[in-house]
Amino acid sequence: MRVGVLALQGDVREHTASLTALGVETVPVRRPEHLENLAGLIMPGGESTAIAHLLTTSGVREPLARALEAGLSVLGTCAGLILLSREVLDGRSDQWSFAALDVAVRRNGYGRQLASFETTLEVVGLGAVPGVFIRAPKIESWGSDVEVLATHDHGDGVFPVLVREGAVWGCAFHPELTADTRIHELFVSSLVDR
């Protein structure tokens, strides 16, 4: 099974290491042709504005949009979640997203770097999982078809932090920054080899 890791910018190495630890073959995706014959794709953490810019200049944006429409399985963490969202709040005025996941996210919704935090999350089917949030996006609203797999109580309300809508997974935190590979395993186990 080959899983792509969008490798334009961000913590590509950590995602690749998590997948490799699970025995999954990885493909760094930087050009349109790298999208061919993937069982799934991970969109890593990084800066969503930079990755969005590089998606356009690399020519990956259009073929990836088509692949998502055709049902490509994808897991977006942090910046990746922002890029998959239906609506981005507090983004740049020209910020676009793939609208593959029916959620509205607020960029840096938990605050700037000083407010970045780690905590323990309760994930449906997995139990306690470490959650590392770096200038993380906050999922502020979500559609009825979106399954909420984990939430976080930040004092000002309880918000989803791991969601799934069919083949599209969104994660506000960074499972790839810890040695715990169960979130990746959950995603990989949902993939159909092709």
Residues serving a catalytic function are: 78, 174, 176
Q: At closest approach, how far in Å is the CB of 176 from other proteins? A: 9
Site for other proteins in 70-129 (CB under 8 A): 78-79, 90-92, 107-108, 112-122
Angstrom distance (rounded) from CA 143 to CA 103:
6
Ramachandran sector of residue 115 (left: φ over 0; alpha: ψ -120 to 50; beta: rest): alpha
| 10 touches other proteins by CB under 8 A | yes
SS3 151: strand
Q: Which of 192, 189, 154, 155 is nearest to 173 (CA)?
A: 154
| 66 touches other proteins by CB under 8 A | no
Please report, as a single letter, which amino acid is at residue 54.
L
Angstrom distance (rounded) from CA 148 to CA 178:
22
Site for other proteins in 140-159 (CB under 8 A): 152-155
| 2 touches other proteins by CB under 8 A | no
Q: At closest approach, how far in Å is the CB of 123 from other proteins? A: 11
Q: Which of 193, 128, 140 is nearest to 170 (CA)?
A: 140
Applying CB under 8 A, which of residues 2, 32, 58, 140 lies at the interface with other proteins? 58
Quick one: the chain helix, strand, coil %, rounded to 5?
A: 30, 35, 40
Q: At closest approach, how far in Å is the CB of 144 from other proteins? A: 24
What are the distances in angstroms from CA 14 to CA 10, 146, 178, 181, 184? 9, 27, 9, 11, 11
Applying CB under 8 A, which of residues 3, 4, 5, 12 lies at the interface with other proteins? 12
Applying CB under 8 A, which of residues 22, 32, 49, 89 lies at the interface with other proteins? 49
| 47 touches other proteins by CB under 8 A | yes
| 165 touches other proteins by CB under 8 A | no
| Residues within the interface to other proteins (CB under 8 A) | 7-14, 30, 45-47, 49-50, 53-54, 57-58, 78-79, 90-92, 107-108, 112-122, 132-135, 152-155, 174, 177-178
